[in-house]
Amino acid sequence: MNKNAPAASETSSGSRPRIVIVGCGFAGIEAVRALSKADVEITLVDRTNHHLFQPLLYQVATAGLSAPAISGPIRHILRKEMQRGNLTVLLGEVTGIDAAGRSVELDHGAERLAYDHLVIAAGATHSYFGHDEWAAHAPGLKTLSDAFDIRRRVLLAFERAERKPEGPRRQACLTFAVVGAGPTGVEMAGMMAEIAHHTLPDEFRRIDSRRARVVLMEGGPRVLSAFPEKLSTRALEQLRALGVEVLVNAKVTDIDAEGVTYQDGDGAVRRLEAKTVVWAAGVAASPLGRVLSQSTGCSLDRAGRVIVEPDLSVPGHPEIQVVGDLAAALNHGVRKGPPTPVPGVSPAAKQMGRTAAANLLRRLRGEPSQPFHYADYGNLATIGRSRAIADVETPLFGRLQFSGMPAWLFWLFVHIYFLIGFRNRLIVLTDWAWAYFSFERQARVVAESDATRGAPAGGEA
């Protein structure tokens, strides 16, 4: 902590317990909603002014949806909770934690907030496996800013190709590499192929956008490895039907402004010339995990996530709970066998947020906390138009695995249902319906950035 930081702000009213919640993702917002009806004082801190429905972020990156369709102002989303008079929302970044003094530091010492209980839901960021220099050439997808950057790169690649003469330099502009074949990578690759093959063919004179190459690179032996092998194989077939080139056992060794160097399954070093590269291969926990570890001595896993107790608290600090992607949590609701790791998906984050809130209220009542039980409803992944795979748990029929149009329709229903706000649901449903019948993508406006301002229009920005 900064010794010269101002004294901790008093945010409590009377003797109400002071609760600070860091992050307004899925876990944070659920914790706020569960706690707001109690006689407590809540302060929610987030680096942005909006909540983001991250499962559809790739749709913004590929011009399928506009940003407001999958996001909303935090203050508006939580307006009912704020009307109860016990919630304060602050725009800022938590940069320090004093576990002994029970306070958090905002913006490197600009302010300190005292707490009686702390819930940390700071989420995750990109991991380049020790090669952070790749980030400049291969952006990841975690924030709206990331989505805008990727959308600009993808759309301007076609514009630059239009300025290039026929040959290798034009083809490099028309080659798109996606590194990592998890759900995000598969969804990105499928949508890029749709843009090239269905949205843009009639909009350029010098180039044929259908000649674009979309290459999905996976270091492991199959795509969507978290799914059963049968569904993984089906996803591979659907990707290839869309025109995506899939390279498995392709381990990336270097990324630069001109493309990707990788080692194939036979150990041979190969080169892919691609002016546009998207990173979807690695996830690391928020740096706040390291800050918490320094303050409390808690252990972190290899991804930087905090290893929590069964009730999601930090060992030795029951007043601090870690939830969402920052928590290395276990599911203690397994009927047979030992507890299993909780996946980093939005349903798990929501459930952790609600469990953390319930345990916090139990402590305030002097009751013992309960271990986290994760209800696994399965996994969904969309590949493209009318193409998806589903592995879901149902109360009547048990585990169901299906693909193609039925899985795609189910995927649409689930994502529209979980969007926050009727307006967002209506906009997304309308945009998807229009895109399905017209193949058009309306969110294709690209604003000039500092990176492109002054660069040659067809050049190597």
Q: What is the dihedral of CA 417, 422, 427, 430, to 10 degrees?
A: 60
In total, the chain counts a number of residues equal to 461
Query: Which two tokens mark 111?
Result: 């302010």
Contact by Cβ (8 Å): 212, 314: no
CA 80, CA 33: separation in Å to the nearest integer?
9
CA 246, CA 190: separation in Å to the nearest integer?
11
- 24 by Cβ neighbours in 10 Å (0-12 / 13-18 / 19+) ranks as buried
| Cα–Cα distances in angstroms (integers) from residue 199 to residues 60, 62, 64, 164, 267, in the given order | 15, 11, 11, 21, 37
H-type alpha helices, 11-66 = 26-35, 57-61
Query: Which two tokens mark 446?
Result: 């690209």
Q: What does residue 172 show for φ and ψ, rounded to 5 degrees?
A: -65, -40
Which residues carry out catalysis? 187
Q: Which helix (H) or strand (E) holds 23?
A: none
Contact by Cβ (8 Å): 147, 57: yes
H-type alpha helices, 144-210 = 144-163, 168-173, 183-194
CA 382, CA 415: separation in Å to the nearest integer?
11
Q: What is the 3-state secondary structure (H, E, C) of 194-211?
A: HHHHHHCCCCCCCCCHHH
Contact by Cβ (8 Å): 243, 209: no
